[in-house]
Amino acid sequence: MKVDGGLGMGSTKISDIAREAKSQEERGYDGIWTAETSHDPFLPLTIAAEHTEKIELGTSIAVAFARNPMILANIGWDLQAMSNGRFNLGLGSQIKPHITKRFSMEWSKPAARMREMISATRAIWDSWLTGERLNFRGDFYTHTLMTPFFIPNKEELGDFGPPKIYLAAVGELMTQVAGEVCDGIICHGFTTEKYLREVTIPNIVKGREKVGKSLDDFSISGPFFVVTGQNEEQMQQAAAATRQQIAFYGSTPAYRGVLELHGWGGLQEELNQLSKQGDWVKMGTLIDDEILNTFAVVGEPNKIAPELGKRFGDVIDRLSFYAPGQSEPEQWRQVMEDLKSI
């Protein structure tokens, strides 16, 4: 199993990216991924590509609908070339309010739009590599103009080819899109073992079957909640932060299906109401021990890897730790080494 770290998120400063990227490579992580939160997700990877040699680089995630296929094709190509084939383009849809109100972009039929966006991005790469005329015509995107001045040198990619594309998905339709047009899926942190096995994977299979493919060359990855610490105080602090994060995601209507699968559908409405009131503290108190232990692996550091392996070892091929409020590198080093032996 590959174990990934994170880069450029939380308190990490842009000026620290080079040092942090090299540190994570030296500590043995297989990949480092950025998120589109308080920083652009691509810039840190440009820096990381220059200061590392082997570690994979990826976005988890870049907001797809804040961009268009030509922009994604350009930046994906450049990062793949700069990293010597180590870049993974991880995309996600975000939710409608962020797309329309934060990015001021169009939102409609997200699953169908995502399928077409990824297909268009691949069509642009194919045109650049083969020299064939660009002629992509869809319901949401049309790309029919490509003159030599705008075509990158295909020798930049060497034998690596274009980046792999990962898609973050929770809902059934988007998960099928991931299986249909992507190289892998990034499971949301708000995913349980039951949801992964009973909803996510069957829908990936449906998508793969549409295009005559199996799961053999498809990557299933994701950050999973972890609550751990060296003493009881640290454990309690980690649990409190994780309860808050679970509650935040649980308040989102798009993720209601995960709660419903466990019989907790009514909790989503209650969390949503509290979120509209800004009562974030009370939201966390609604996440009881049963819910916490369903979404998160809770235990001392030496118990984390065995439990993650028990839950997900036979169905995922790469994993990262979603541990709000925790940042002790040496603690995670041992967990990582234990996971790699699974």
Over residues 327-341, the pLDDT tens digits come to 666 677 778 888 887
**Dist. CA 152–CA 201, nearest whole Å:** 37
Q: What is the DSSP letter of 170?
A: -
Query: What pTM, to 2 d.p., does this model score?
Result: 0.93
Residue 110, in any domain of the structure: yes
Going by pLDDT thresholds of 50, 70 and 90, the confidence category of residue 326 is low
What is the tally of structural domains in the chain?
1
**Dist. CA 121–CA 24, nearest whole Å:** 30
Kindly give the residue spans of alpha helices, DSSP state H, lying in 59-109.
Answer: 69-82, 96-97
pLDDT at 141 over 90: yes
Strand partners, 63: 92
**Dist. CA 316–CA 32, nearest whole Å:** 17
Average pLDDT over residues 227-240: 92
**Between residues 283 and 11, which one has the greater pLDDT?**
283
Q: What pLDDT, on a 0 to 100 scale, did the predictor assign at position 7?
A: 86
Among residues 190, 175, 169, which one has the least CA distance to residue 260?
190
Residue 271, in any domain of the structure: no
Among residues 145, 339, 330, 156, which one has the least CA distance to residue 230?
330
**Dist. CA 230–CA 318, nearest whole Å:** 25
pLDDT at 126 over 90: yes
Q: What pLDDT, on a 0 to 100 scale, did the predictor assign at position 337?
A: 83
pLDDT at 11 over 60: no
Over residues 264-299, the pLDDT tens digits come to 999 999 999 999 999 999 999 999 999 999 999 999
Task: Look up the domain containing 74 and give its range.
Answer: 2-231+297-340
Q: What is the DSSP letter of 91?
A: E
CATH number of 152's domain: 3.20.20.30
Residue 270, in any domain of the structure: no
pLDDT at 52 over 90: yes
Going by pLDDT thresholds of 50, 70 and 90, the confidence category of residue 10 is low
Are the C-beta atoms of 57 and 49 separated by less than 8 Å?
Answer: yes
Residue 272, in any domain of the structure: no
Q: What pLDDT, on a 0 to 100 scale, did the predictor assign at position 336?
A: 84
Residue 137, in any domain of the structure: yes
Residue 43, in any domain of the structure: yes
Q: What pLDDT, on a 0 to 100 scale, did the predictor assign at position 8?
A: 66
pLDDT at 140 over 80: yes
Q: What is the DSSP letter of 13?
A: -
What mean pLDDT, rounded, does the chain reach? 94
Q: How far is CA 121 from the centre of its chain?
A: 18
Average pLDDT over residues 198-212: 98
